[in-house]
Amino acid sequence: MLRPLFASIASLALIATAGAQTATPSASPDASPKTSGPAASPHPKIVWNRVHVEAPYIALTFDDGPSAANTPRLLEMLAARKIKATFFVVGRCVQEHPEVLKRTVAEGHEIGNHSWSHPKLSSMSDAAVHAEIKKTHDAVLAAAGVAPKSFRPPYGAFTERQQRWAFQEFGYPTILWTVDPFDWKKPGPKVVAQRILSETKPGAIILVHDIHKQTVDAIPEVLDGLLAKGFKFVTVSELLAMDQPKPKATPAPAPESPAKASASLAESPTLLTCCPER
Ligand code: NI
């Protein structure tokens, strides 16, 4: 459901801004996503849904927090294994739980911006989108003394024009994802862990949500299972810095699971889902 929408929006955005474009290389055949997640634009250095690496590095990302009920427990699990992750935080939740964000940063994790109130940004005005991003940028800076390093649009809904603008204005690359276990549907910790363990490949960006108890319950098995497979955890910025411009040939993607094939934007949660303990 996302891909046709993205394609049409992307085409319109390209036409509208063609005059402002510098020459960009045409998309390589590898620009299309190999696994789940929305399609990335043909601007590989601004929009990412996976990274081409020559060693088993991966980035684990947590969206929609901080959560006072679940994030601290997650931080303990990460610290016990000396693993650094990336947290795409919602500004309203940062405002509500600044101490959790501060601790997250103090423990060496990376922060990304995930908007102020988790709306579908691709259909909003420029002024409204700007406010969503800027308020969160400033809230993170005020709470933890660091600026977010990247942006993840809620639902992956972000036009090419918005992607370029976020990069130019805030220095944010747009970070999508490679592995999506649909943890927000609460299939149980075992299923969440099994999906992640079976789908993760080198260079993967894994998307989960630290606002759900079930997800955090799955994390010990996820971390220990991925470590046992030889994966090494880095932050999103570190993973992006490892990108190889000429990827090696990769095996054909696995067929999409029924869960993924049936997923659509309409099925995604449409309300702000952070701070559930409120
Ligand atoms: Ni989200």
Q: What is the rounded average pLDDT of the residues 69-74?
A: 98
When pLDDT is cut at 50, 70 and 90, the band that residue 224 belongs to is very high
When pLDDT is cut at 50, 70 and 90, the band that residue 177 belongs to is very high
Is 262 a member of any domain?
A: no
| Distance from the alpha carbon of residue 140 to the mean position of ligand 1, in angstroms | 16
Would the pLDDT of 272 be above 60?
no
Number of structural domains found in the chain: 1
What integer pLDDT is reported at residue 246 of this predicted model? 66
Would the pLDDT of 38 be above 70?
no
| Distance from the alpha carbon of residue 63 to the mean position of ligand 1, in angstroms | 5
CATH code assigned at 89: 3.20.20.370
Locate 143 and state its tokens: 């709470």
| Distance from the alpha carbon of residue 81 to the mean position of ligand 1, in angstroms | 26
Note if the bond before 269 is cis, omega within 30 degrees. Answer: no
Give the chain's mean pLDDT.
81
**Catalytic one of 109, 118, 209, 212:** 209
**Catalytic one of 63, 64, 180, 210:** 63
Is 170 a member of any domain?
A: yes
Structural domain that includes position 7? 2-11+44-245
Is 252 a member of any domain?
A: no
Is 144 a member of any domain?
A: yes
Is 19 a member of any domain?
A: no
Biggest CA pair distance of the chain: 52
What integer pLDDT is reported at residue 251 of this predicted model? 54
Is 272 a member of any domain?
A: no
User: How many Cβ atoms from other residues are within 10 Å of residue 87's Cβ?
Assistant: 29
Question: For the chain, first and last CA: distance in Å?
Answer: 32
User: Annotated catalytic, 209?
Assistant: yes
What angle in degrees, to the nearest 10, is found between the helix axes of 189-199 and 213-228?
40
Locate 117 and state its tokens: 């109130």
- Cβ atoms of 74 and 60 within 8 Å: the answer is no
How far from the centroid of its chain's Cα atoms is residue 237's Cα?
Answer: 12
| Distance from the alpha carbon of residue 114 to the mean position of ligand 1, in angstroms | 7
What integer pLDDT is reported at residue 245 of this predicted model? 76
Within 13 Å, how many C-alpha atoms sit on residue 229's CB side? 18
| Distance from the alpha carbon of residue 221 to the mean position of ligand 1, in angstroms | 23
Is 58 a member of any domain?
A: yes
Place of tokens 């088993």: 56
Would the pLDDT of 31 be above 90?
no
Is 275 a member of any domain?
A: no
What integer pLDDT is reported at residue 19 of this predicted model? 32
